[in-house]
Amino acid sequence: MKRASMTACLGTALLLAGCQPTVETTVTAAAADGPRVVAASDIEAGRYLVLLGGCNDCHTPQYAMTNGAQPPEAEWLKGSTEGHTGPWGTTYGKNLRMTVGRMSEDQWVELLATGSSLPPMPWPSVRAMSDADKRAVYRYIASLPGEVGQQAPAALPPRRDATATGSARRLIL
Ligand code: HEC
């Protein structure tokens, strides 16, 4: 069956275009109307998704280091000063309350569907959420009490090793 359909695809140039797999489109469309969490409210669904998605591990200080015991929920997702260092430099989980505050729900859905940034932000995971789940996360974050807080520190470039820095200095002098 598989071979027959491949042969059919290769049979004529006219048909070829129709046989090209459109993986990107298919995945995006599937994600948009994909499965959704059902809960008593969208806010409850969003809270569950945030817990499952591990968003607090990187976007809430102390959370990962205290096994989720700290800080209280009123402080969740205000951005973290705990850096993630790797070949990409050092990045900080951004303040998601500020992100939600500066965009509409539709813009948030678009951001989660198309976003990219430095690691270790798990964009493939948030991309895989259905639109309904992306909206639930937005509504949950918007419902969180307390101050919006400060933006997390800006990402730092990869660290040059001491020798490279030393020789660069010598060159300048
Ligand atoms: C393993 C760590 C990690 C996890 C888990 C994580 N993030 Fe992130 N996220 C980051 C980092 C780091 C950045 C900033 C990357 C940069 O500076 O380029 C970021 C950036 C973002 C941004 C962009 C914000 C902006 O204003 O530009 C959004 C939105 C986001 N994360 C949402 C989420 C959501 C929703 C979850 C949970 C489903 C999540 N993240 C889980 C690390 C993480």
Compute the mean pLDDT over every residue in the chain, rounded to the nearest whole number: 84
CA of 165 to the centre of ligand 1 (A): 31
Q: Are 94 and 123 in contact (CB under 8 A)?
A: no
Q: Is the CB of 127 under 6 A from ligand 1?
A: no
Cβ–Cβ contacts within 10 Å for residue 172, how many?
A: 6
Looking at residues 21-44, what average pLDDT do you find? 77
DSSP string, 96-163: HHHHHHTS-HHHHHHHHHH---STT--HHHHHTS-HHHHHHHHHHHHH--S---PPPPPPBPPPPPHH
Percent of the chain topping pLDDT 70: 75
Nearest CA to ligand 1 atom 23: 94
Q: How far is residue 73's CA from residue 62's CA, in Å, rounded to a whole number?
A: 12
Helices (H), 23-77: 23-32, 42-53, 55-59
Question: pLDDT digits over 89-114, tens only?
Answer: 999 999 999 999 999 999 999 999 99
Amino acid 31: pLDDT: 82
Question: pLDDT digits over 38-89, tens only?
Answer: 999 999 999 999 999 999 999 999 999 999 999 999 999 999 999 999 999 9
Amino acid 29: pLDDT: 62
Q: How far is residue 109's CA from residue 142's CA, in Å, rounded to a whole number?
A: 14
Q: Does 169 have pLDDT greater than 80? A: no
> Best of 52, 59, 130 to mutate for ligand 1, by most ligand atoms within 8 A of CB?
59
Q: Is the CB of 55 under 6 A from ligand 1?
A: yes
Which residue in this structure is represented by tokens 């990219």?
Answer: 116
Under the banding of pLDDT at 50, 70 and 90, the label for residue 37 is very high
> Best of 52, 94, 138 to mutate for ligand 1, by most ligand atoms within 8 A of CB?
94
Amino acid 161: pLDDT: 55
Q: Is the CB of 57 under 6 A from ligand 1?
A: yes
Is residue 35 classed exposed, middle or buried when 0-12, 13-18 and 19+ CB atoms within 10 A define those classes?
exposed
Q: Does 166 have pLDDT greater than 80? A: no
Q: Is the CB of 126 under 6 A from ligand 1?
A: yes
Q: How far is residue 110's CA from residue 131's CA, in Å, rounded to a whole number?
A: 9
